[in-house]
Amino acid sequence: MQTTIIPTNLDIYQSYMSFFLPFGFDARKKDNIIEALEKHGYRYFQLKEADDWKGIYGSGIRVGGKELEQYFYPYVEHKLFPLSIHDRGFHRFTIQLDTPFQFCIREEKRHYHVRSVDVILGPFGLAFLTVRIENNEYSDLADILEFMQHFRAIDTHLKETKGSHILLQNGDSLSNYDFLLDTLCPFLKKYMISDKRLEGYFGSLPYYDDERMYASAFLFTPNGSDITEEQLFRMGNLNGRTPSGELFVSAKNPDYIRRSLAHTLHDRWSPHTYTVTTEHAFITVTNQTPEDMAGELVHYMGTHYYNFLIHYFYRIMLLRVSYEYSEIVWNKDEEYVKSLIKLITLFSSWYYFREISTRSEGKELSLAFYKAFNIEHLFNEVNLTLNELYKAQENSRAGRMNMLLFILTVFTVISGIYGMNLVISDWEDPFGWKNYTSYTFFEWISLVTAVSGIALSGYLIASMLIKFILRKSRDKKSDLYM
């Protein structure tokens, strides 16, 4: 009986990889971003024109509009493929680049190819940058996973992500960050919003977890190759090589690996094709030929791409709500609480759908994404957050109402004592107020009550006007209607 896992080699001769970088953008500058995208050669993707797009996915791969249209429920389709840029939903802009580069690590250089780039302007000021990369050289699985692990690290803080760089054809040596945001999308950086309390890219989304891009891949291994549990586990965890270059697996216990795969592996088409879905990666591997897997490759580039996208959007939005809830200063942020309630309500009603796809495989993948991204647990937390916000708002409203009733009661009682007449005869003379030194005790009460009543009325009116103006200004700056 095997008691420990020893990583093994697996030849990969063709790889299609995608990397997803979420970032925040200023919704008020949406038109400026669209103008910049179009100026730099990006085209707006529409479902009715999907059949005309050639080359953006790879040689001979074409994703048809009917395939995308019939895969999703209509209420999801309208959000993923809005009819115009003015409709709510995910607005995708794509450019075909065909940019070759070398990825260098430990004195080794491997050739890769950037096929195309997507910029998707999503709802609520959240956008996604997708980079599609191909590798057509024979490589070991460990080399592909190592590349994915290093390439997805925008800021290399950890030891296992350091020591790599990108080499362009003109000889320039770049970091991943510079390659993405200075070479591939040089215009995009200025539209990324950032939290002033944080530095670097990740100030854009301070609630973004793991500080790395999400990785996806479709891998071809020679026909009939044996694909083991250990290799599938390494794919889900992007276990490539150690810093010294040895094969790496982040677990040694076979039982642990089996338990892990029980939650992450989709083996409907085994023993020829497997899909592993984790919080780090979404990878399909097959020992069939590209000709036999042409349909599955189209699904990976099309329907599975959008299936992943909307679930990834769910995760980030739910993390955003949790983060913003933790930032509330309860004694100051009454309007912030209202905007957060509105954000949760609009997100839940407009975009959060438990059923996404009409196909059985689509439902299975949706379930896999739900598990990998822990969406159900996060959504339950958000529901609890919403209940707490409603309670806080009700308590605040009740407190204000009680105070207002107290003040009105005081004025009503005093007015009743005076027979609803607080006017002193001296006030009828323009200069009669100078006689206040001779007022009796009850006349002083009348004076204080009248003046405070007028001041309180003025304060309430001014306060309502200020709140109204601030609310309108906040609504103009808000991204809730994107």
User: Per mean pLDDT, which range of 93-97, 321-325, 379-383, 435-439 is the poorest?
Assistant: 435-439
User: Per mean pLDDT, which range of 7-11, 313-317, 419-423, 454-458 is the poorest?
Assistant: 419-423
Rounded to two decimals, the pTM is 0.84
In tens, the pLDDT along 173-204 reads 998 889 998 899 999 988 888 655 444 444 46
Lookup result for tokens 């009986």 = 1
Q: What distance in Å separates the CA atoms of residue 281 and residue 453, rounded to the nearest whole number? A: 65
Average pLDDT score over residue span 52-80:
89
Nearest to 70 by CA among 81, 55, 59, 56: 81
| 31 exposure class (CB count in 10 Å sphere: 0-12, 13-18, 19+) | exposed
Q: What distance in Å separates the CA atoms of residue 208 and residue 323, rounded to the nearest whole number? A: 9
Q: How far is CA 247 from the centre of its chain?
A: 33
Contact 152, 127 (CB under 8 A): no
| Structure-block tokens of residue 111 | 């050739």
Q: What distance in Å separates the CA atoms of residue 363 and residue 356, rounded to the nearest whole number? A: 7
In tens, the pLDDT along 138-173 reads 999 999 999 999 999 887 655 555 678 899 988 889
Which of 3-27 are b and which e, b meaning 16 or more Cβ less than 10 Å from the residue's Cβ? eebebeebebebbbbbbbbbbbbeb
DSSP 72: B
User: Per mean pLDDT, which range of 86-100, 154-168, 291-305 is the poorest?
Assistant: 154-168
User: Per mean pLDDT, which range of 257-261, 326-330, 386-390, 423-427 is the poorest?
Assistant: 423-427
